[in-house]
Structure 1
Amino acid sequence: MFITILYSVVLPIIVLIVVGSVLQRIFQLDLYTLSKINFYCITPATVFMSLYHSNMNPELLGSVILFYALYVLILYLLGSLTSKIMGYKSGKKAAFNNSIMLDNSGNYGLPVNQLVFSGEPLAASMQALIMSLQSLLTFTYGVISIQGSRLQGNYRSVIIGFLKMPVPYALALGLIMHALAIPLPTVLAQPLTYAQQSMVAIALITLGAQIVKYPLRLYRSDIYISMVLRLFGGPLIGLMLILLLDMHGIPAQALLIASAMPTGVNTSILAEEYRNEPDFAAQTVLISTIVNVFTITAVIALSGHLQ
């Protein structure tokens, strides 16, 4: 079973990451431009379309939001405590917390979910919601924490910077149009669909390009601390919350798998965008993605026992 999951679910995703790494080695891609495309175009389109087409009932929607809120709160507390113990300064603390709180629920989690559940609508909708909540967290807390550390408390500029981010508007608009059943004109639906469908390939290729920009630093303890909290602490917290909230079946399985994603490419994109610890961010993405090949396979196997 382990080999089957590894071959059919995880390795197809790794292929695109390798493609990005090879392209970067050969052509020296413009990572800043790739980050802008992800940041301002593809992610907002994906968030909007996922929420617009969501088919979860209100009760399950509330349960998932509660799960996610508790999940990221616990990770934040763990990250802040670890940063204090390790003596990280504000910029490093922001990057460290991002590395454990911001995971690859979209460009890694969506394909994993699709392959594990064979496109089952309920599981797909749950992963889309998690990805949307993750995107909201990324472009609120993730951006504000980094900007705040760089601007030394000038939160007026932080708020202005946040208001320029498109993802929160896409999330709110998607939820409103879904709730009110507002039809989406084809002239808008088609390009948004094209952007959504391109997300997995472009994001994973970007990730592959980013992780070879910096030399692999296997001696850095901060990277391993981040990896342990992300890949082992994340699923453990997820399992505890699933049991606490008495969730079963596909919702429980989907949430457990969602909690086991590696450090998200957005961690590196934000670090590149705002020039805050880009080397550390790229390393956490690289190391956690490599190790996740094995940990996600184990978590998928474990999730089969949640009935």
Structure 2
Amino acid sequence: MKKIELGLFPTPLQKSSLSIELGNICLYLKRDDLCGIGFGGNKVRKLEYILADAIAKGADCVVTGGGSRSNQTVAAAACCAKAGLEVHIVIPESAPNVTKSLITLSGGILHTTPDGQRSTLTKTMRNVAKELQAQGQTPYTIPVGASSPLGAVGYVEAMREICSQAAELNIAIDHVICCGGTGNTYAGVALGAKLYSPKTRATVISIGRRFAHKETLLRQIHKTEALLKCESGIELDDLHIHFSCGKGAGLPSVKGWEAIKRMVAAEGIFLDPYYTGKAFAGLMELSQYETLHPGENVVFLHTGGMVSLIGETS
């Protein structure tokens, strides 16, 4: 599968001092927030494959979009700048000024919508692409959140990377836990775990309810398998969802803020209130529910979110 090199990989797999506080598990942080482009985060691995596909198909510009707290829009602007592609970003008018500024600073061309509904964003992206075609350009559209089978491939490969690092540390990963908005990152993680570390339990902490059913996730995984031309034998029982939504996607939660403060106090590492903060709050709940057992090696995938944090606190 072709990709272009955008980030600095492998990212660190870092032992956390929070292990004792979390029931004596052995906690490791997979630092995809430190992947070396823009503000880092999980979108970079996805965009390495997606932008390679855009270039292979002769695109001279990219169209994508996201909600008001989207990290993907800023990541796409930075990655397209590095790849030498013109990029058009669709976001709601209500998006924080810092998000808009970072996109335009990266050379992105902004298009705003009156609301952040996925249907509104997608329709506007389609219209922008049509306008670009009419002007003689060749646009390539990236779905909201870079959620596609190609995007998931980035996290199949991330699991291979994690397994390689675990082998160097002479440990076996018992659990890998990540955040989920659309479930696309988790689709890659779960498939990668099944392929490269079948005994590892992959859990997604849902910060919304877009993929409340495992069947939705399994369909994403099967599409990724088809793209990779592989069969993992993954089943519904291999998928694990824990909800840490608070009042829903796009809204911070009390437990999420508590998790952010706890991580900063222990490690000096920032999480964000919409994604990773909620996800780590979910991990803390799993340790309390004794789903995670003393001595088990648990990897928490830090998928970034600094743009969301800055937008919320500014």
TM-score between the two structures when normalised by the length of structure 1? 0.32
With CA pairs under 8 Å and 6+ residues apart, which has the higher RCO, 1 or 2?
Answer: 1
* Higher fraction of strand: 2
* Higher fraction of helix: 1
